[in-house]
Amino acid sequence: MTAPTQQVQAPKPELKKRRRNKGGLSAANQSTGVGTAVRYALLIFSLALVLMPVYVLFVTSFKDPSQVSPSRTWYPPTSFDLTNWINAFNDLAPAMGRSLSMVIPAAIISAILGSMNGFVLSRWRFPGANVVFTFILFGMFIPYQAVMIPMTKMMVSMGIDKGIPVLIFLHVVYGIPITTLIFRNYYESIPESLIEAARVDGAGMLRTYFSVVLPISIPSFVVVLIWQFTSAWNDFLFALFFGGSSQQGPVTLALNELAHGSIMQDYGASMAGALIASVPTLVVYIALGKYFIGGLMSGSVKG
């Protein structure tokens, strides 16, 4: 006879009761929701602070002088009149052309020189390369004010007239440190095997640079060109000292003349001029913004 078998029941797992608050949410979820709300509130507040001056610029640019007063700063115009925009554009158009003739060559030349410097300092090592790079990088920390008097005396002694060519030279010189830093860090991220393969194939330094390195440097060139374009376009200090008069200088001088050139200041035209002068940099960022972010993410500013 066989003994009767007894079925052994497995112990049932104890179900842990989850404590919930009265609203049906856990304490962790509630704290996360509060933190998210605080972050969004701070972001909205920061965005409002940034957009407030833009709003004042925009609404004032459509007002006639009778509507411009401190008590009506935040009020929209009674009618949208384009007279201020037309007058500002007529005054700034020649200066904007001169600014373009300044920033385009300055950005391109400084980008090319920075690319060459970055390649040599990162991939074609030589004794004292780090020392040379340190001295180049030191140029980033020299303020504009420190070179005003020496540059003025040098220009007078050499008989060089103020104008756009001098500004191109200054922006190229001041752009070399930052462009060298960006390209050097970008080239440091290139695999060494790529450079070694070019050397095995018999390529020298110049051929390696032009045939191998330069074609893959587009992201860094976009970053550098946007940086230099914006920096040179918005510069006022160099333009004030070395740009000559407002009739021969860049747009920042013409905009300053528009804002302070007459006894009765036309705030509407000044605001419209400020918005018009910002259009080129805005267009550059809109057109090349995604490439700018791609250049940053690809290692062009990594340490």
Whole-model pTM: value is: 0.78
Closest CA to 247 of 138, 162, 157: 162
Q: In angstroms, rounded to a whole number, what is the distance separating the alpha carbons of residues 25 and 130?
A: 58
Half-sphere exposure of 124 (CA within 13 A, CB side): 16
Assess contact for 268 and 63: CB atoms under 8 A.
Answer: yes
The pLDDT, as a whole number, for residue 168 is 94
Q: In angstroms, rounded to a whole number, what is the distance separating the alpha carbons of residues 135 and 133?
A: 5
Q: In angstroms, rounded to a whole number, what is the distance separating the alpha carbons of residues 270 and 274?
A: 6
The pLDDT, as a whole number, for residue 264 is 62
The ranges assigned to domains in the chain are 83-300
Q: In angstroms, rounded to a whole number, what is the distance separating the alpha carbons of residues 92 and 274?
A: 10
The pLDDT, as a whole number, for residue 275 is 92
Both tokens of 156, joined, read 């007078």
The pLDDT, as a whole number, for residue 1 is 45
Q: Please list the rounded mean pLDDT of every run of 10 residues in the chain (303 residues).
A: 51 50 56 81 92 89 80 81 88 92 95 92 82 87 84 84 90 92 88 84 83 86 91 91 84 87 74 91 83 59 45
For domain 83-300, the CATH class is mainly alpha
Q: What is the SS3 assignment for 51?
A: helix
The pLDDT, as a whole number, for residue 164 is 92
**Token match 């920061």: residue?**
46
Q: In angstroms, rounded to a whole number, what is the distance separating the alpha carbons of residues 147 and 154?
A: 10
Please enumerate in sequence order all residues whose Cβ is within 8 A of that of 86, keeping only pairs 6 or more positions apart, or say none.
Answer: none
The pLDDT, as a whole number, for residue 246 is 76
Closest CA to 229 of 132, 75, 105, 70: 105
Amino acid letter for position 187: Y
The pLDDT, as a whole number, for residue 301 is 45
The helix (H) or strand (E) run that includes residue 95 is: helix 83-123
The pLDDT, as a whole number, for residue 261 is 65
Amino acid letter for position 142: I
